[in-house]
Amino acid sequence: MSRENMELRRKRANLWNEAQEILNKYDSNEARWAGEDEQKFDRLMDEIDQLDKRIEREERLYSRKKEGALEEPARPAVEQRDQPSQEEYREAFSQYLRFGVDGLNQEQRSLLAQNFNQFDQSETRALSAVTGASGGYTVPEGFYNQLIDAMKWFGGMRQARTTVLTTSSGNNLPIPTADDTGNVGAIVNENTQVGEQDTTFGQKNLGAYMYTSKIIRVPYQLLQDSAFDIESWLRNKLAERIGRITNAHFTTGTGTSEPQGVVTGALEGKVGATGQIDSITYEDLVDLEHSVDPAYRMSAEFMFHDNTLRALKKLKDNDGRPLWAPGLTQGAPNTILGYRYVVNNDMPVMAASAKSILFGDFSNYFIRDVLGVQLLRLQERYADFLQVGFLAFSRHGGVLADAGAGPIRYYQNSAT
């Protein structure tokens, strides 16, 4: 752990001690706090949230530095002209982004042509408004990997312990499911036939849906500026746009013409008592926790909207201890009831009949990414604006693989 990280954690611990002093003044069931206390508590928690983000950045940077130090020295490259390198392809792709096909030499054109993909009928229909667009170039491998990595910061589903699969094609992928939680073994007597006990098997189909970034317009002046990192800028824009829409669908998607969201696939765990339209109690959280089979609780975590987290931070157990606790050591997460949690702002906020909190083993939710993001450069369409348009297509899917045991369950606020 770096010194900077240790200092940030020390500051966060001090802030939490201040917040706890305020929290200890009130019972969990008290509806109102003194105005000054509530304002100070909220301010302290906001400062803790900001420190959490800085700590996370520091840990990622520290981890990257350690990885770089452990890398083996580069070996001399072996000259192989039969198979172009990723670096050659990346350079050709970068040239294409800045200057289009007309800015490529013959070798670069040949290199990109090997990765030109004609769109199928469904993709062509989506491109009906784009004049002359019939296909796009596959982004370089490094660009793709960094794009997928960046997408997890625009939603909570990729930050949870979900199972992420990468496939080379978009055909339906059957995910087997099995519910064996009610089956047990037996003692076998000598010379006695072993009994049978069937496991309930099923399957969920994990499809792949075509997503578009919509058109991203970039001025010519920026493209012609060599100091402007077009690859990083474009990658971040694509990650933000596609990351946000896929996270929304992975969270609340219907499963019809879009991925099945985890909320859609989850089973009921606990419904709030009458009057709990926008609130939850300690007892409700305990009931939600125990609605999930112990087999799934070993790797369980909570998921909720940031507004819900603010409410949970004010709750205490029956012994007066706060339910929220900060992670005090490197890599240790903040917890609720001792469980890790993920903030996902595509989760419903607490309101009448809202399924506002999830709890369970998120490895049973499968996210699918199909290799090969296609990118189009639209040079003529915005020429009168002195701009170039970029349009990306990628395929993703999601489904909760549940054979009926309910590995993920929800808390639902009262209807009235």
Express as a percent the part of the chain with pLDDT over 90: 37
Label residue 326 by pLDDT band (50, 70, 90).
confident
| pLDDT score recorded for residue 46 | 86
Three-state DSSP class for 233?
helix
- Residue range 54-64, pLDDT digits in tens: 877 777 676 66
Evaluate whether 241 touches 383 at the Cβ level (below 8 Å).
no
Q: How many CB atoms lie within 10 A of CB 223?
A: 17
**411 beta partners:** 270, 357
Count the neighbouring beta carbons within 10 Å of the beta carbon of residue 311. Answer: 16
pLDDT at 119: 46
Token pair, residue 397, equals 């899917």
Token representation of residue 406: 């309910």
Reference 1, options 47, 72, 60; nearest CA is 60
pLDDT at 73 over 60: no
**Distance of alpha carbon 289 from alpha carbon 283, whole angstroms:** 10
Q: What is the pLDDT of residue 197?
A: 62
- Helices 141-151 and 230-252 pack at an angle, to 10 degrees, of 50
Structure tokens at 160: 């949870």
Largest CA distance in the chain: 88
Q: Is the dihedral of CA 241, 311, 287, 160 positive or negative?
A: positive
Answer for the pair 140, 86: CB distance below 8 angstroms, yes or no: yes
Residue range 76-93: average pLDDT?
Answer: 61
CATH fit for domain 123-177+202-305+344-416, picks 2.40.110.10, 3.30.390.50, 3.30.2400.10, 3.20.20.150: 3.30.2400.10
Tens-digit pLDDT profile for residues 132-191: 344 455 667 777 777 777 787 788 999 999 999 999 888 888 887 766 666 677 777 777
* CA atoms of 408 and 405, how far apart (whole Å): 9
Tell me the average pLDDT across 225-231.
Answer: 78
Cα gap 344→242, rounded to integer Å: 16
pLDDT at 324 over 90: yes
Where would I find the H helices in 114-177? 121-126, 141-151
The whole-number average pLDDT for the span 76-83 is 47
pLDDT of amino acid 62: 65
Whether the pLDDT of residue 287 is over 90: the answer is: yes
C-alpha–C-alpha distance, residues 30 and 182, integer Å: 41
Closest CA to 26 of 320, 408, 256: 320
Q: Are 222 and 229 in contact (CB under 8 A)?
A: no
What percentage of the chain has pLDDT greater than the value 70? 81
